[in-house]
Amino acid sequence: MSLPPLVEPAADLSIDEVRRYSRHLIIPDVGMDGQKRLKNAKVLAVGAGGLGSPVLMYLAAAGVGTLGIVEFDTVDESNLQRQIIHGQSDIGRSKAQSARDSIKEINPLIDVRLHETRLDNENVMEIFSQYDLIVDGTDNFATRYLVNDACVLLGKPYVWGSIYRFDGQVSVFWNEHGPNYRDLYPVPPPPGMVPSCAEGGVLGVLCATVGAIQATEAVKLITGIGDTLLGRLMVYDALEMTFRTIKVRKDPEGEPITELIDYDNFCGVVSVEAQEAAAGSTITVDELKDMMDSGKEFDLIDVREPNEYEIVSIPGARLIPKDEILSGRALSELPNDKPIVLHCKTGVRSAEVLAAIKAAGFKDAVHVQGGVTSWATRIDKALPTY
């Protein structure tokens, strides 16, 4: 859909800016007017990870005058396979600060504003109100719905992207002119149905393709050129090297968005059944280590996927993937004569499995809070994290 320019042009460009952006200026559709609009634009990237990296780098190179970054995490070695705005020397640093330094190296003319906080109901409206356009690169449903609802309430457009393994999706949402995210996904999937990139993996270069499309859509919105992805969902399959678009329409029966809600509860970050099962049946990695050291007999079961197990595992654990247990196929492999201790990467999947096996009659079972991640950071610091 073709839309009018999002921002007014800046008063002028300096001689340095004319030299820097000369390849834009000779494009008739961009020209001096479009470049001045880019200079005057304020764009917020939610996340400086796999998608935020190419988005921020290309928008900085394009001359977007003000770039905001919402990011509370630090750089981990496992990020470097896809989060190209960070480098080896940034491990352990604030992602927001690392991203700012990379942006300044690309284009020192950009004003970079950091919001080193977790986006939530208390701060989202104040942060978003400072920007013309939001680019969403988050990887969890609770934050996606929060971003959407805040943009609807503030009348802001935003560019959304999603990645998983070899697949990517991109769209533009702007409730005043077309659909919003809830028109595409009215309700979130059940907890555990869609694994995160940390659980399922992602091809690193996929982030470059999807992030570049997001940056392209941002430039088009700011300058008012071309047809945006508003009302369309672009689906990219890296293995087949195919792009296809799907029409997205406003839901005439959709509930109006009038306020922010409890997004963790709405998305069921952990299902009610898992919460109930985990209550009183959760142990820490320190307690697990004590059980091992005392010689207590129990069956330690890793419910992650085989490729995760190959990367790192807790000593003595045997692998039975979550889906094998939830489907009932592996219930016969569980012992009836000794306690069962379940774990995954962080504790979400193991809590879901715990609920399932308790419902199947295995009462003497617990799961490990924090899973392999906590074990690697607290007990066996020689083990890698991923």
pLDDT tens digits, one per residue of 232-282: 999 999 999 999 999 999 998 888 999 999 888 787 667 778 888 888 899
Q: Is the pLDDT of residue 192 over 60?
A: no
Q: Is the pLDDT of residue 354 over 60?
A: yes
Q: What is the band of 196 on the pLDDT scale with cuts at 50, 70, 90?
A: low
Could you give the C-alpha distances from 258 to 93, 141, 142, 369, in angstroms and in order? 38, 19, 17, 36
Name the nearest CA neighbour of 368 among 329, 317, 331: 317
CATH of domain 15-267: 3.40.50.720
Q: Where in the chain is the domain with CATH 3.40.50.720?
A: 15-267
Distance CA 230, CA 3 (A): 9
pLDDT tens column, 297-331: 999 999 999 999 999 999 999 999 999 999 999 99
Q: Is the pLDDT of residue 152 over 60?
A: yes
Name the nearest CA neighbour of 57 among 86, 77, 90, 78: 86
Q: Is the pLDDT of residue 151 over 70?
A: yes
Distance CA 214, CA 157 (A): 13
Q: What is the band of 199 on the pLDDT scale with cuts at 50, 70, 90?
A: low
Q: What is the pLDDT of residue 195?
A: 65
272-379: CATH topology = Oxidized Rhodanese; domain 1 (3.40.250)
Q: Is the pLDDT of residue 34 over 80?
A: yes
Q: What is the pLDDT of residue 128?
A: 98
Q: Where in the chain is the domain with CATH 3.40.250.10?
A: 272-379
Q: What is the pLDDT of residue 382?
A: 81
Q: What is the pLDDT of residue 265?
A: 74
pLDDT tens column, 78-99: 999 999 999 999 999 999 999 9
Q: What is the band of 348 on the pLDDT scale with cuts at 50, 70, 90?
A: confident
41-78 CB burial, b ≥16 within 10 A, e <16? bbbbbbbbbbbbbbbbbbbbebbbbbbbbbbeebbeee
Q: What is the pLDDT of residue 189?
A: 75
Catalytic residue among 151, 197, 207, 267: 197
Mean pLDDT score of the chain, rounded to an integer? 94
Candidate from 107-116, 144-153, 361-370 with smallest mean pLDDT: 361-370
Q: Is the pLDDT of residue 194 over 60?
A: yes
Q: What is the pLDDT of residue 198?
A: 67
Distance CA 311, CA 317 (A): 13
Q: What is the band of 146 on the pLDDT scale with cuts at 50, 70, 90?
A: very high
Q: pTM score, two decimals?
A: 0.80
pLDDT tens column, 211-224: 999 999 999 999 99
Known active-site residue 267: no
Q: Is the pLDDT of residue 126 over 80?
A: yes
Name the nearest CA neighbour of 344 among 323, 306, 371, 378: 371
Task: Classify strands 167-173 and 232-237 as parallel, antiparallel or unpaired.
Answer: antiparallel
Q: What is the pLDDT of residue 193?
A: 58
